Amino acid sequence: MAGSVFIRHPRYAIVLAFLLASSLYLILPLSGPPGGFTPLRFANNDFTDLSYRMAQAEVIYERTIQERAGLIERYGPKASEIDMFPPNKSPWPAYTVWDFFPASFNCPHEVRRIGVLGDGGKWVCGLSRVVEKKDCVVYSVGINTESSFEAELLAETKHCKVWGYDFSVKGFAKQIPSHQLHRTEFHPYGLAGFDRAASGTEPAMYTLKTLMKMNGHEHIDILKVDVEGWEFDTLTTLINSFKGSALPFGQLQLEIHAWDRKFETFLKWWQTLEDAGLRPFWTEPNLVYVNYANEGKPHLAEYSFLNVKGDNVFTKDLH
């Protein structure tokens, strides 16, 4: 199980210590009512700065981790005994894997859906933070035939440039108007946990570190990834390649495909994301897939994560 907030995020330790001791910025557990719940009290966010809101969100997310352990104990009690999608009427109350991983981290800014309603749009935390940012960098991996996310993001910001990657199409979809194409760059590459140049019918595949090196980038503000199930290996390799340093992006929009996954391995993978500093602030099940899939199970879910480690424009006031 992931460690405490102080171990995982030492840069928040001083802030949290101050908040816990302050009468104005109070985070104080109270004696809970019967049932084991311990209420948390917080200062009114109308009078708090970004560092406080980040620390507050981390305290709330720490509670989610504790509650996840309790849910595993209830239905397991071991993780290896948990079903991803239990059969009808067994157990009751019913659950799915997504109930163990709620998007309970509070984005400290506005949350907006960028792109069309339905399949294609993504939830973004604090787009206002990059509207004027001159070196704003966006990577979009997995485009298919839908580019409304990229089109609206370009329209809403002044300087953001979008790098697109997808070996199954020849470029961005028609939603991006011609006058915005100069702020885009497309390559028929895939994102993977290894590097491989194109050969015959095999497309080129590269790690995020390699793609960033090709482009001369040290940081990505927004990273959108939809790689049809390869996200498990890809993100594991990505995280391992940046061990010892913060992940090089501010937030991540990711579609997770839970096909043929075991709960125990999914949990370990998710904890790898958490330990790397990724916090889910929004989730949306892919109900179109549920509607048309033969089994009718919610195998797919969109998640949006904020990176709380390192310095990025969404979590710190950078000057």
Convert the pLDDT of each residue in 10-39 to its tens digit.
555 554 544 444 433 344 443 344 445 666
Report if residue 288 sits inside a domain: yes
pLDDT of amino acid 43: 66
246-278 pLDDT tens trace = 999 999 999 999 999 999 999 999 999 999 999
Contact 192, 208 (CB under 8 A): no
- Rg for the chain, CA atoms, rounded: 20
Last residue of a domain, one of 29, 49, 82: 82
Same domain, 296 and 148: yes
Same domain, 132 and 221: yes
Residue type present at position 2: A
Residue type present at position 44: N
Last residue of a domain, one of 49, 82, 115: 82
Report if residue 98 sits inside a domain: no
Of these ranges, 227-236, 241-250, 271-280, 284-293, the one predicted with the greatest mean pLDDT is 271-280
Report the CATH number that the domain containing residue 152 is assigned in CATH.
3.40.50
The percent of residues above 70 in pLDDT, for the chain, comes to 84
Q: Is the pLDDT of residue 8 over 90?
A: no
Same domain, 53 and 191: no
Same domain, 131 and 12: no
Same domain, 121 and 73: no
For residue 71, what are the domain limits?
5-82
The domain total for the chain is 2
Report if residue 91 sits inside a domain: no
Report if residue 316 sits inside a domain: no
Report if residue 314 sits inside a domain: no
Same domain, 63 and 120: no
Report if residue 224 sits inside a domain: yes
Same domain, 141 and 52: no
Same domain, 34 and 131: no
30-67 pLDDT tens trace = 334 444 566 666 666 666 799 999 999 999 999 999 99
Q: Where are the beta strands (DSSP E) in 66-225?
A: 111-114, 122-125, 137-141, 161-165, 184-187, 189-191, 204-206, 220-225
Same domain, 26 and 113: no
Please state the pTM of the whole predicted model.
Answer: 0.86
Same domain, 175 and 35: no
Contact 122, 289 (CB under 8 A): no
Report if residue 64 sits inside a domain: yes
Last residue of a domain, one of 21, 47, 82: 82
Report if residue 87 sits inside a domain: no
